[in-house]
Structure 1
Amino acid sequence: MPVRTVAGPAPAPEELLAAKGSTTVTVVVPARDEEATVGDVVAGVRRAWVDEVPLVDELVVIDSDSTDRTAEVARAAGATVFAAAEVLPELGAARGKGEALWKSLHVTTGDVLVFLDADLIEWGTHFVSGLLGPLLTDPGVALVKAVYDRPLLDADGREAETGGRVTELVARPLLALHHPDLAGLVQPLAGEWAVRRSAFERFSLPVGYGVEIAALVDTAAAFGAEAVAQVDLGRRTHRHHRHDTLGPMAVQVLAAVEARLGRPTGEQARRATLTQYDRAPEGFVPRPTDVDLSERPPAVSVQGYPATAVRP
């Protein structure tokens, strides 16, 4: 069966609450140097789905080595904040979005996890209810991805072009070649998604930007593509990434899919060097970037899980 697409508005709040029953819900916002936007994301979710409608049981920000006031702003807006580096420090340090999501498993208890990016500019609190709808109303759904229009904004806030460059040039071709059962996904790398803990805690997770495509591929492998749903949430804008910062992201997405095809192995599976070039007076100068391709093991394999959770 193909990926399920859910169109139209999310179920009414009273329907979601009835469907929720005893299921617990955690919203996780991974953040690094996002003091300008993380407060609005946290405050919006807290107002809509904690204070007004008790749909969300935990609202957590995982702060990934921020050098600004991200943690302070998020805490003031109503989130419980954890420093990623202080969660299971005995397992060694890693940096990346996947690392933050993996660490979130060890400091939360929700049966369902909803992930929202911290750099959202134009969005809505319906993102949470929309993503939760299929998981709360259909036991056959294990993972839900967001679908939205996603224009990119330039430095002055004007729409510059359509987002999704890594999706179009890397993720979608990979799915076409190796996972055609997932080709129906409009935005496989969407940062807004939700998943059942019972599935997510059993997956190996890339520490970087490969986490989203890895979770998709692993969900389909474990439960079939029909266990993946996507929900149209309308429109989303976020902070623009320079084109040359997309290279390391693309390497991590490629590596995550290759790892699930059974290759590569050894040191090559853990690191790669991406060489890009800058123009200088003497010509083109190489600029190498060390890209972390390592993966965290399934959370259920960590000794003491889930009792490893730390508290602020």
Structure 2
Amino acid sequence: MLEEVERWLAGRSWSAADRPLDQLLAAKSRTGQTVSVVLPALDEEATVGTIVEIIRRDLMSAAVPLVDELIVVDSGSTDRTAEVAAAAGARVVHRDAILPRLATVPGKGEVLWRSLLATSGDIVCFVDADLREFSADFVSGIVGPLLTEPQVQFVKAMYDRPLGEGAGGPKAGQGGRVTELVARPLLNLHWPQLAGFVQPLGGEYAARRSLLEQLPFPVGYGVELGLLVDALHTVGLDALAQVDVGVRKHRHQDGQALGRMAAAIYRTAQLRLARGHLVRPRLTQFDRGEQGGFVPRTTDVDTEERPPMRGIPEYEERRAA
């Protein structure tokens, strides 16, 4: 298995600089593929506008028409996320307006799943809306292999993830805490073919619509792990790739949020290892009480998944049209 991972790393790991924009535009023109970019957003007014502006400026101009569609899916923001994104030039759609006959549930995966019905590109690129010091390489880098390599179907971004600022500057490589403590051990133990992915939980990835519409989507934090594992089983390792896009800076979650994320990711893995044999899990965490001592707080771990989009009548009707 180690030899297979090393072979994959040598043949399916690239840098964004490996495919200049002129090469991507030529491939896009030659193949006729279209590209949609989706930003799932919840209370991201501080960053979403800049991301939208950079994508529009660098990848949607008459000179560089790489991206055909840019959509921000607002999942219930209480700040000015929607207004800021629209002012920057994105098409903004509220999560609840997509497939309204089906009641929404909280979670990032829910938003990504619904976005397939709100977009039309042959290639769909997901980018988190909380990124700082954003570069268009995050989009062009991961879209590139899908435009130039017909056999590639799913591409993850890889990057350094600094954790705040220390005395010597950014603490490089320490930002992926749930990745290192939960996701990477799970993948190495149960899906060793995926051990070569540097950032398996990263929110920046692109895939062919024809693949995404076949996959179930965990509605919450487990969506990235679930899609990666299911893509492996659906199209095989050589259809997966990763691209180095530099450094990813974003807002970090607190310890309890990371605990909930870790539980959802573990549950997503467990479900794929033993479908049909789970009880609904719950997670108890603790806060210091106002009167001293610790107060337990128990929450349900995400357990729902959305079915492959190909089974949704509204999506099939749109495809037929």
With the length of structure 2 as denominator, give the TM-score of the two structures: 0.90
Aligned partner of 1:62: which letter? V
Is the 1:170–1:250 Cα contact (8 Å) retained in structure 2? yes
Match in the other structure for 1:121: 132
1:128 Cα deviation from its structure 2 partner: 1.1
Aligned to 1:5: 13
Q: 1:151 aligns with which of 156, 162, 167?
A: 162
Matched with 2:226 is 214
AA paired with 2:259? G
How far apart are residue 48 of structure 1 and its match? Answer: 0.6
Q: For the residues of structure 2 that align with 1:213 and 1:108, how far apart are their CA atoms?
A: 23
- More displaced stretch, 243-252 vs 4-13: 4-13
CA deviations 1:223-281 (Å, max 9, x no partner) are 11111101111111001211111111111111211121133446x3xx43210011223
Query: Using the alignment, how far apart are the partners of 1:105 and 1:265 within structure 2?
Result: 30
Secondary structure of the corresponding residue to residue 163 of structure 2: strand
Task: Report the count of equivalent residues.
Answer: 304
Aligned equivalents of 1:10, 1:252: Cα separation in 2: 35
| Cα RMSD for the two superposed structures | 1.8
Task: Determine the structure 1 residue equivalent to 2:245.
Answer: 233
Aligned partner of 2:145: which letter?
P
In 2, the alpha carbon distance for the partners of 1:177 and 1:58 equals 39
Change (3 A) 1:209 1:308: farther
Aligned equivalent of 1:172: 184
Which residue is equivalent to 1:60? 71
Contact 1:151 1:237 in 2 (8 A): yes
1:308–1:99: structure 2 CA closer, same or farther, 3 Å change rule? farther
| Preserved contact between residue 15 and residue 141 of structure 2 (Cα < 8 Å) | no
Secondary structure, counterpart of 1:244 in structure 2? helix
Moved more, 60-69 or 277-286: 277-286
Residue 185 of structure 1 corresponds to 197
Q: Distance in 1 between matches of 2:247 and 2:241?
A: 18
Within the candidate set 243, 247, 253, 2:265 is matched to 253
Alignment correspondent of 2:214: 202
Question: 1:25 is aligned with what amino acid?
Answer: V
Is the partner of 2:268 in helix, strand or coil? helix
Question: 2:285 touches 2:297 (CA, 8 Å); kept in 1?
Answer: yes
SS at match of 2:285: strand
Partner SS state of residue 314, structure 2 = coil
Residue 160 of structure 1 and its aligned partner are, at CA, apart by 5.6
Contact 1:107 1:308 in 2 (8 A): no
Counterpart of 2:101? 90
Aligned partners of 1:291, 1:231: CA distance in 2, in Å?
Answer: 31
Residue by residue over 1:57-101, the C-alpha shift from the partner in whole angstroms, topping out at 9 and shown as x without a partner, is 100001001111101100111111110012112111211110111
The correspondence for 2:81, drawn from 70, 76, 80, is 70
Q: Which deviates further from its counterpart, 196-205 or 145-154?
A: 145-154
Does the 8 A contact of 1:152 with 1:238 survive in 2? no
More helix by share: 2
1:18 is matched with which residue: 4, 10, 26? 26
Query: Over residues 25-75 of structure 1, what are the superposed CA-to-partner deviations in whole Å (9 max), with x where a residue is unaligned?
Result: 000000000000000011100111101410101000010011111011001
1:28 and 2:34 aligned: no
C-alpha separation between the residues in 2 aligned to 1:202 and 1:8?
Answer: 27
The SS at the match of 1:292 is: coil
Secondary structure of the corresponding residue to residue 9 of structure 1: helix
Provide the C-alpha distance between the structure 2 equivalents of 1:207 and 1:265, rounded to a whole number of angstroms: 19
Q: In structure 1, list runs of 5 or more residues that go unmatched.
A: none
Q: Contact 1:113 / 1:197 at 8 angstroms: preserved in 2? A: yes
Q: Provide Cα deviations, 1:152-199, integer angstroms capped at 9, x if missing partner.
A: 236xxx746720011001100110111000001111001111111000
Question: Is the CA contact 2:146–2:152 (under 8 Å) kept in the aligned structure 1?
Answer: yes
- 5+ residue gaps, structure 2, are none
Change (3 A) 1:62 1:265: farther
- Using the alignment, how far apart are the partners of 2:195 and 2:219 within structure 1? 24
1:273 maps to which of 262, 282, 306: 282
Distance 1:70 1:307 in 2: 31
